[in-house]
Amino acid sequence: MARQINVALIGNPNTGKTSVFNRLTGLNQQVGNYPGITVEKKQGVCKLDRGLKAHIIDLPGTYSLNASSLDENVVIELLLNKNDKDFPDVAIVVADVENLKRNLLLFTQIKDLGIPAILAINMADRMKRKAISVDIAALEERLETKVVLVSSRKNEGFDTLKELVINHTTLSTKPCVNASVIAPEYFGRLKKAFPNQDLYKLWLVITQDVNFGKLERGELNTIATFQTESKSNLKRLQQKETIARYQFINGVLKETLTIDTANAKDFRSRLDRILTHKVWGYAIFFGILMLIFQVIFDWSSYPMDFIDSSFASLSEWVKNTLPPGDFTNLLAEGIISGLGGIIIFIPQIAFLFLFIAILEESGYMSRVVFLMDRIMRRFGLSGKSVVPLVSGTACAIPAIMATRNIESWKERLITILVTPFTTCSARLPVYLIIIALVIPEQRVLGIFSLQGLTLMFLYLLGFGAAIFSAWLLNKFLNIRSKTFFVVEMPNYKVPMFKNVAITVIEKTKSFVLGAGKIILAISIILWVLASYGPGDFNNASAIVMQEESSNSLSEEELETKIAAFKLEKSYIGIMGKAIEPAVQPLGYDWKIGIAIVSSFAAREVFVGTLATIYSVGSEEEETIKNRMAAEVNPVLGTPRFNFASGVSLLLFYAFAMQCMSTLAVVKRETNSWKWPMWQLIAMSAIAYVVALGAYQFLK
Amino acid sequence: MLTIAHLKRGQRAIIKSFEVENVPLKLLEMGCLPGNEVMVVQQAPFRDPLYLNINGSHLAIRKETAALIEIELL
C-alpha cells in the first residue's frame, strides 16, 4: 500500500480554504460528522507524484487556537492529540493575501505546536490589481518554512504545493514565538512542574475556555493539579501573547510585504457604500429575497412538471411490464409513487441551495448581518441570526448548526428555537402542490404570478412567526449572558463556479437521500397498511356489488367503488377514521390526516403519503397533482382541496414542528430535551389553532 | 473618555487602551490592540453596529463594545 500523508488544511474563515480543498481533492471528497457532535467533517484524497497519496482533512475555519465555539474546538482537539488517526504529518495554513497580517497569527500558533506548517497564500491572482508584492524567499527565511502562492480561481501554484507536501519532512519545526516571553515567571513555574512537556501546548490546554472542557488531555491530565492563574489574569496573558505574536508578524511583514496604498480605495469600498447604505442597503436585500422566491416558483415549474409526468408513466410501465402480484403493486403504487413525491422537488431545492451558496460565497451575507443586527437585537436576536433564518429556508438542520458563531447564549438559544418557523425546503413540496391546486393561475400587475406571491407570503409568514416568537421568548426567558458581537466583513468575491456547484450537489444529494430513506420506509409501511385489512376488507367486491346491485354501474365505476371501499376498510383506513374527528374541523379527511401524522417524521412525506394512498385507491396511473384535484368531499360534493381547506393546510404546515431530525439537532445543540419538547408542543398547538381558525372562517 | 463609538465615518484614530476583561478575545486576535489604527468605514442606522477597519482587518462590532475602547484621534 502506498504511504499516505496526513494533511490538515487550516485557516481563518474567508481565506478560500474550501476552494483550496476543492482544488486539491476534486470531487474525491466525503462530508460527514465528527463522532458525537454535529460539526461537519470534510476529508478527501489527493494523488501526489511518486505513487504517494495525501489524506486531506478540511478543518473548520478559525481565527486562532483559542476556541470559542464547538467548531473551533475541533481544530484544537486534533492538533493537541498526537494519537488521533487524523493527526497531521503536515499542516497547510491557508492565508488570504490581503489579510496576511491577521492570518499569520494562526500560522505562528500552529508552528509553535511543533507541527510542520506550509503557508499557502491564496488569491494570488488579486495581487497585481491590489499592487501587493510579497518577497517569498525572505518570508520563508523569517518564518522558517516553505511559502507558496496559490490561486484557486486560476488553478495556479498547486503543483508546487503538492511537491511541498511530499517533502514535508524537511520542514523546520522551530517555533516562531517563544511562549515563555509572555510571562517568564509563570512559564518558569510551569516548566518546573512539567519538565518533559512542550510549554506552548501546556499553555493552550490551560487557557481553553471551560465551556469546552472535553479536551482530550491524556498525558496532560495532571495539569489540573497545577495551580493556575485567575481567569482574568489568564486573559491578560492571552492579550500579551497576541501582542507578542503581532510584534513578530509586523517585523516579518515589514521586510517582506509591500502594498501600494494608493490603490487601496477600490471596488470594495464603493460597493460597501451602496450595499450597507441606510436605505439602499435594505432595499437591495429585500429585492434579492423577492427575486429568489419568484425564481424558485417560476423557473422550476418546467422541470417539475416533467418529473411528475415521468414518474406517472414509469409507474404505469412497471405495472404493465412486470408480472402482476403483490411485489409489482408495492413497487408501482408504494415505492415509485412515494419517491416521485420527493424527486419532483429537486429543482426548487437545488435553486434554493444555489442562491444561498452564492450569497455566502460572495461575502454579501456579512453585510446583511451588519445591516440587520440592530433590528434583530430588538427581538432578542443577533445580526448573526439572519444567516440561520435565511439558510433555514433551505433546511433548519444546517441553519441551527450555523447559530454556533452567535456569541451570546440567550441570543443563540432564541435563534435555535425560532429557526424552524422559517420555510424550509421540506415545506416547499406541500406548499407548491397545494398552491397549484387552490390558488388560480393569474398574474398581478402583469408580471408577478399570483401563485408566486402566495408562496412569497408564506415565506414572509414564516419569518414573521420566527421574529414574533423571538420577541416573546426574549420577554419571558430569564437568561443572563454577555452579549458580544464581532463579525468579519470579508472582501467581495465573484463566487467560484466549482465551489457553488459542489455545495449545491452535496446539499441536494444529502437532502434527497436523507428524505428518500424515510419516504421509502414510510411508503412501504403505508402501502402494506393500505393494501391489507381485517374483516370486510377481504370481501370488498362482494359487499360493494351487493350494495350497488340496484344501480346499473359500468364495470369501471364499479371497480373504482370497490377500490375506495377497500381503502376505507384497510388498516390505514381504520386508523385514519379514528383520527378523523381531530382533523375534520380543520377541513381535512382521514387521508390527509394520515398524511399529516406520517409527516411528523418529515414534512415532505406529506405529498408522498397522499400519492401512495391515492395510488392504491385508484386503478389509473395519474400525476399526483391530478389525483389530488380529483378528490371530492363526499358530503359537500366539492373538491377536497378547495380554497378553505387548502389555506388551512398551508397554515398548518407553516407553523407545525414536523421534523424529527430538527428536534434531534436542537437536542444536541442545547444539550437537553427540554427545548425540543417545548418546540414540538408549542409549534403544533399554534399550527392546529391557526388552521382551525382559517378553515372555520373561510368555509 | 473618547472611544471608538465617538468616531465619525472616515475619521481615523489610534487605540489607546481598554479593560481586557470587557473585550472578547476574538476582537484582540483580529487586531484590536493598543497602538493599532482604527477607522469607521460604515455605520448602520443609529450608528450601531459600526463597521471598522482595525489594523487592516475589516470587522463590525456593536456600539456598546466600541464604547469601551479608548482612542486618541489622529
| pLDDT per residue as tens digits for the range A539-568 | 878 888 787 777 777 777 777 778 778 888
Residues of chain B under the 50 pLDDT cut: none
Per the CB < 8 A criterion, the answer to whether A622 and A611 are in contact is: no
Q: Which residues are registered as beta bridge partners of A120?
A: A94, A148
The helix/strand/coil state of A506 is: helix
Report the C-alpha gap between A335 and A332 in whole angstroms.
6
**Which positions ≥6 away from A608 have C-beta within 8 Å?**
A337, A338, A339, A340, A341, A342, A519, A522, A523
Interface contact A273, partner B, CB < 8 A: yes
Which phi and psi (to 5°) does residue A537 adopt? -50, -40
The continuous run of DSSP H or E covering A119 comes out as strand A117-122
Q: Which cell is A265 given? A: 480605495
pTM here is 0.82
**CA-based diameter of chain B, in Å?**
29
Report the C-alpha gap between A431 and A401 in whole angstroms.
25
Q: Which of B26, B47, B69 has the most A C-beta neighbours within 10 Å, making it the best mutation to test the interface with A?
A: B26
What's at A111, amino acid-wise? Answer: K
* pLDDT tens, position by position, A629-677: 888 877 777 888 889 999 999 999 999 998 877 888 888 788 888 999 9
Cell 415521468 belongs to A310
pLDDT of A433: 86
Report the C-alpha gap between B17 and A212 in whole angstroms.
29
E-strand stretches of A155-281: 257-259
Q: How far is B8 from chain A (nearest CA, A)?
A: 15
Which phi and psi (to 5°) does residue A239 adopt? -65, -40
pLDDT of A214: 46
Q: Which residues are registered as beta bridge partners of B40?
A: B9, B52
Q: Which structural domain, as residue segments, surrounds residue B46?
A: 4-73
Quick one: DSSP state of residue A696? H
Q: Residue A696 pLDDT > 90, yes or no?
A: yes
* pLDDT tens, position by position, A4-30: 899 999 999 889 898 999 999 987 777
Which phi and psi (to 5°) does residue A587 adopt? 95, 15
Homologous superfamily assigned to A4-170: P-loop containing nucleotide triphosphate hydrolases (3.40.50.300)
- Is the four-CA dihedral A552, A555, A559, A560 of positive or negative sign? negative
Which phi and psi (to 5°) does residue A522 adopt? -65, -40
The percentage of chain A sitting over the pLDDT mark of 90, rounded to a whole number, equals 30
CB neighbours of residue A578 within 10 Å: 11
Q: How far is B32 from chain A (nearest CA, A)?
A: 10
pLDDT band at A59 (very low <50, low <70, confident <90, very high): very high
Q: How far is B25 from chain A (nearest CA, A)?
A: 8
CATH number of the domain at B67, please: 2.30.30.90
Q: How far is B53 from chain A (nearest CA, A)?
A: 9
**Which positions ≥6 away from A289 have C-beta within 8 Å?**
A459
Rg of the Cα atoms in chain B: 11
- Is the four-CA dihedral A286, A289, A293, A299 of positive or negative sign? positive
Q: Annotate B11-32 with three-state secondary structure.
A: CEEEEEECCHHHCCHHHHHCCC
Per the CB < 8 A criterion, the answer to whether A419 and A411 are in contact is: no
Interface contact B48, partner A, CB < 8 A: yes
Predicted complex: ipTM over 0.85: yes
pLDDT of A522: 78
Q: Residue A474 pLDDT > 80, yes or no?
A: yes
Q: Spell out which residues of chain B touch residue A407, defining contact as CB-CB under 8 Å.
A: 24
Query: CA of B54: how far to CAs of A124, A301, A493, B51, in Å?
Result: 23, 48, 21, 10
pLDDT band at A618 (very low <50, low <70, confident <90, very high): low
Q: Which cell is A637 given? A: 360534493
Per the CB < 8 A criterion, the answer to whether A653 and A427 are in contact is: yes
- Cross-chain CB nearest to B29 (options A105, A272, A273): A105
Report the C-alpha gap between A146 and A140 in whole angstroms.
5
Report the C-alpha gap between A647 and A643 in whole angstroms.
6
Report the C-alpha gap between A524 and A532 in whole angstroms.
12
Quick one: DSSP state of residue B54? E
Burial class (CB in 10 A: 0-12, 13-18, 19+), A655: buried
Q: Which cell is A453 given? A: 406571491
Which phi and psi (to 5°) does residue A394 adopt? -85, -60
Average pLDDT across chain A, whole number: 84
- Is the four-CA dihedral A234, A238, A244, A245 of positive or negative sign? positive
Cell 487592516 belongs to B56
Q: What is the mean pLDDT of residues A61-86?
A: 86
Per the CB < 8 A criterion, the answer to whether A506 and A336 are in contact is: no
Q: What DSSP letter does each residue of A570-588 carry, written as one string? A: SHHHHHHHHHHHHHGGGT-
Domain count, chain B: 1
pLDDT band at A212 (very low <50, low <70, confident <90, very high): very low
Per the CB < 8 A criterion, the answer to whether A574 and A533 are in contact is: yes
- Residue A513 zone, left/alpha/beta (φ > 0; ψ -120 to 50; rest): alpha
Q: Spell out which residues of chain B touch residue A63, defining contact as CB-CB under 8 Å.
A: 26, 29-30
Q: Which of A270, A367, A484 has the most B C-beta neighbours within 10 Å, making it the best mutation to test the interface with B?
A: A484
Report the C-alpha gap between A26 and A56 in whole angstroms.
12
- Cross-chain CB nearest to B49 (options A66, A235, A485): A485
Domain residue ranges in chain A: 4-170, 180-239, 280-476, 521-698
Report the C-alpha gap between A618 and A608 in whole angstroms.
15
Q: Residue A473 pLDDT > 50, yes or no?
A: yes
Report the C-alpha gap between A92 and A240 in whole angstroms.
26
Q: What is the mean pLDDT of residues A232-254?
A: 89
Per the CB < 8 A criterion, the answer to whether A340 and A307 are in contact is: yes
Helices (H), A62-208: 70-80, 100-112, 127-130, 136-143, 158-166, 184-193, 199-207
CB–CB contact B44 A371 (8 Å): yes
Q: Spell out which residues of chain B touch residue A374, defining contact as CB-CB under 8 Å.
A: 44-46, 48-49
pLDDT band at A303 (very low <50, low <70, confident <90, very high): confident
* pLDDT tens, position by position, A395-434: 788 788 778 778 788 899 999 999 999 998 888 888 988 9
Q: Which cell is A639 given? A: 373538491
